[in-house]
Amino acid sequence: MPIRPADLDRIRALPLFMGASPAVFRDATAGAFLQRFPAGTTLLMEGDPVDFLYVLLSGSVELQGSWKEKESTLAVLRPVSTFILAAVMLEAQALMSARTLEPSQILMLSGEALRRTARQDADFGFAVIQELAGCYRGVVRTVKAQKLRGGVERLANYLLAQCARQQNEARIILPHEKRVLASLLGMTPENLSRAFAQLSDYGVHVRGAQISFERPRALKRLARPSALIDNHAPAALHPAGKAASETWSTDTEEEGGGAQPPKAARFGVSPKFP
């Protein structure tokens, strides 16, 4: 319940609060509390009213939607990420359920306090705008991937994205269960297996959660990653030295316990549509 100074620092490092003055930061985090949840805990059900902004500090969280007994994973978040900011700002019901995939440490910030602060302080408001805009663009990327690519292509691009996140090694470790990955990519677990099998023709070897790439060129030729769909690598020219924006996308930055000030500190934020 009491928040450790180290955790406070991690929160301050979030894009949302990075530029905030001490007073604004105090206002926005008033009444905040920290909580630990075991794996598999449902934090929020689809349709619930949303009273808090959640900040994932450790562990991982799955966001999912459902309809007619079907479920689909819309995103898997890793620390440090915020989620359901949009619902908080609109005082609306949640559109997705949230549940922990691992034991997780989660900070809960009062929605009321955040809305009040955003209404009063234009700088903080602008940080919220950027966070939301980034989230929005993340989902747009997701829709594009879903509608424009086939299952194997989505998997190939996912692997390349993970590869880019994991120091571009020739060998990566899948950060989630394959069943979760399958749902995230919009296919069944069986189909994911077959998709992996198809990728063996492109030098992708699977050993449990360890994936190795033996012909990265061939894989890239198949995947054809695009800066307008995938969030990684080439990244066309940004206007200014915009630091961290546009995060969300299918999976968020990892964050052990150490300190990588520049590359860490990403969000689960997502952007609006048009």
Q: Contact positions toward DNA, by CB under 7 A?
A: 150-152, 177-179, 186-197, 206
118, 46 contact by CB (below 8 A): no
Q: What's the closest the beta carbon of residue 190 comes to DNA, in angstroms?
A: 4
Q: Which of a copy of itself, DNA, none sits in contact with 165, Cβ below 5 to 8 A by type?
A: none
Q: Which of DNA, a copy of itself, none sits in contact with 193, Cβ below 5 to 8 A by type?
A: DNA
| 37, β-bridge pairs | 104
Residues 25-64 close enough to bind a copy of itself by CB under 8 A: 46-47, 49, 54, 63
Q: Is 208 in the site for a copy of itself (CB under 8 A)?
A: no
Phi then psi for residue 196, to 5 deg, are -60, -45
The structure tokens listed for 166 are 């994991």
Binding residue (CB under 8 A) for a copy of itself from 60, 100, 142, 162: 142
- With a CB cutoff of 8 Å and minimum separation 6, the contacts of 65 are 46, 71, 72, 74, 95, 96, 97
Phi then psi for residue 105, to 5 deg, are -105, 120
Q: What's the closest the beta carbon of residue 126 comes to DNA, in angstroms?
A: 40
Cα–Cα distance, 193 to 89 (Å, whole number): 40
Q: Which is nearer to a copy of itself, 71 or 169 (CB)?
A: 71
Choose one: 25-33, 189-197, 202-210, 219-227; the region binding a copy of itself (CB under 8 A).
Answer: 219-227
To the nearest 10 degrees (0 to 180), the angle between helices 189-199 and 151-165 is 70
Name the E strands within the chain.
33-37, 42-44, 52-58, 61-67, 70-77, 81-83, 97-100, 104-110, 171-173, 204-207, 210-213
Q: Which of DNA, a copy of itself, none sits in contact with 21, Cβ below 5 to 8 A by type?
A: none
Q: Is 151 in the site for a copy of itself (CB under 8 A)?
A: no
Q: What's the closest the beta carbon of residue 195 comes to DNA, in angstroms?
A: 7
To the nearest 10 degrees (0 to 180), the angle between helices 122-148 and 151-165 is 140
Binding residue (CB under 8 A) for a copy of itself from 10, 78, 149, 154: 149
Q: Which of a copy of itself, DNA, none sits in contact with 269, Cβ below 5 to 8 A by type?
A: a copy of itself
Cα–Cα distance, 272 to 70 (Å, whole number): 25
Q: Which is nearer to a copy of itself, 172 or 250 (CB)?
A: 250
Q: Which of a copy of itself, DNA, none sits in contact with 66, Cβ below 5 to 8 A by type?
A: a copy of itself
Residues 115-134 close enough to bind a copy of itself by CB under 8 A: 118-123, 125-126, 128-134
Q: Residue type at 103?
A: P
Phi then psi for residue 155, to 5 deg, are -65, -45
Q: Which of DNA, a copy of itself, none sits in contact with 51, Cβ below 5 to 8 A by type?
A: none
Residues 245-274 close enough to bind a copy of itself by CB under 8 A: 245-246, 248, 267-274
Q: Which residue is associated with the tokens 């905040």? A: 32
| 72, β-bridge pairs | 65
Q: Which is nearer to DNA, 147 or 242 (CB)?
A: 147
Q: Is 243 in the site for a copy of itself (CB under 8 A)?
A: no
